[in-house]
Amino acid sequence: MRVSKLLFTGIFLLFINICFSQNPSKDATFWNHVRFGGGLGLGFTNNGFNGSISPSAIYQFNEQLAAGTSLNFNYSKFNDNKFLAYGGSLLSLFNPIPQIQLSTEYEQLRINRTYSTSSGNISDNYWLPAFFVGVGYSTYNVTIGLRYDVLFNDQKSIYANALMPFVRVYF
């Protein structure tokens, strides 16, 4: 947990410095630089359901740098097993060239899950941090790539493994 707080603090201070070093033009307004996007997921099986939604907003500082926030909500039910995750994340996007996007994202989720065992139902509730570092290919407002969770914990994580693909769309 101490490592995640240090990473978060370092990234936050970096963005504060970048934000105040910008020289915006007089005719540019805040909302002209805000872009919205997010993700939506649905999954069905014979014995269950999984749904997720994660709206996101970023501020485009210039053609190369953007930072923003996202809300996350995920619900799953398979047989007698239930899972609910909710929280938020802070993200930064950097395009050294228009086609390549580098990203970092600090995510904090509250996990509530109930699962069946031979001795009865077990409830587990905890906070789960994740810190993703990613790279993707960008074209127009879509980026496709891979990200890696450097804080991955295979006992607690809601993700199958530390490396996962992503698709980002911002309008």
- Model confidence pLDDT, tens digit, residues 22-36: 555 555 699 999 999
Q: Does 42 score more than 90 pLDDT? A: no
Looking at every residue in the chain, the average pLDDT score rounds to: 85
- Enumerate the domain spans of the chain: 2-169
Residue count (the chain): 171
* Token pair 């950097």 in the structure block, residue: 94
Q: Which two tokens stand for residue 153?
A: 């914990």
- Model confidence pLDDT, tens digit, residues 126-154: 999 999 999 999 998 899 999 999 999 98
Fold type of domain 2-169: Porin (2.40.160)
Distance CA(93)–CA(98), nearest Å, equals: 12
Beta strand 34-45 with 48-60: parallel, antiparallel or unpaired? Answer: antiparallel
Distance CA(69)–CA(77), nearest Å, equals: 27
Distance CA(158)–CA(98), nearest Å, equals: 32
User: What band does 8 get if pLDDT is binned at 50, 70 and 90?
Assistant: low
Lowest mean pLDDT among 40-44, 121-125, 137-141, 166-170: 40-44
- Model confidence pLDDT, tens digit, residues 67-91: 999 999 999 888 888 989 999 999 9
